[in-house]
């Protein structure tokens, strides 16, 4: 199934991947790492598709993204293509590469690992989040609802999930929105509703000891 939730449902899923601070279950970490990367693969496909010529015989560009031997089947290929097309800049490219390596570590390592595993934590520390203008805009929208957190001193799963959140938001809204447009769209579509209208692949991966 390729259906992707939208609006508040998608917002709840993405922010829900952070989980409660006290949750240190390695299985939850693995789920968050893999699901977060899967959403980014979808967002990259959507952004890249805006540069492709429409084809009535292949409206979803399956030959490019999903068919056997498709050139952009893999996460790494989509990241490189997005960078080549100017969809993402060099810093975003590096963040996506760190996310890809983290995803691969969780997907291909059979021992119990978590976001606090040193090799994973070191990758999370390279993710660019809080200094991004987009983060500050979304923080202003969602912080009152407790969804976007102050990341200073936060543990590594939260850093990873919020990097996914920011990159997904930017990619899914490609071509870029102005910050005013992004704010308006977020308030209209993604704000949690509480009944109060006033409330706003590859085998490459991180080298881990297999014990």
Domains and CATH numbers, the chain: 7-189 (1.20.120)
φ/ψ of 202, rounded to 5, equals: -50, 155
Please give the DSSP secondary-structure letter assigned to residue 178: P
Classify each residue of 188-207 as buried b or exposed e, where b means 16 or more C-beta atoms within 10 Å of its C-beta: eebbeeeeeeeeebeeebbe
pLDDT tens profile 95-151: 999 999 999 999 999 888 998 899 999 999 888 665 566 655 555 555 544 444 444
pLDDT tens profile 142-179: 554 444 444 443 478 888 888 888 888 889 888 866 65
For residues 145 and 196, is the Cβ–Cβ distance under 8 A? no
Predicted TM-score (pTM) of this structure:
0.71
Please give the DSSP secondary-structure letter assigned to residue 201: -
- The per-residue pLDDT for 58 is 77
Query: Cβ contacts of residue 103 below 8 Å, gap of 6+?
Result: 33, 34, 36, 37, 75
């Amino acid at each position: 199934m390729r259906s992707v939730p939208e609006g508040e449902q998608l917002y709840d899923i993405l922010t829900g991947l952070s989980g409660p601070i006290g949750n240190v279950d390695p299985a939850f970490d693995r789920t968050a790492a893999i699901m977060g990367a899967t959403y980014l693969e979808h967002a990259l496909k959507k952004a890249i598709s805006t540069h492709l010529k429409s084809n009535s015989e292949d409206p979803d560009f399956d030959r490019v993204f999903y068919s056997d031997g498709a050139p952009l089947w893999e996460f790494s290929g989509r990241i490189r293509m997005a960078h080549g097309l100017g969809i993402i800049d060099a810093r975003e490219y590096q963040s996506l590469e760190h996310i890809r390596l983290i995803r691969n570590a969780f997907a291909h390592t059979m021992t119990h690992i978590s976001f606090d595993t040193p090799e994973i934590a070191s990758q999370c520390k390279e993710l660019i989040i809080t200094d991004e203008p987009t983060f500050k805009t979304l923080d202003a929208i969602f912080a009152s609802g407790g969804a976007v957190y102050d990341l200073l001193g936060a543990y590594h799963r939260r850093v990873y999930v919020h990097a996914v959140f920011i990159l997904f938001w930017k990619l899914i809204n490609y071509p870029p929105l102005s910050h005013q447009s992004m704010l308006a769209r977020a308030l209209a579509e993604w704000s949690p509703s509480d009944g109060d209208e006033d409330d706003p692949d590859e085998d490459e991966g991180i080298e881990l000891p297999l014990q």
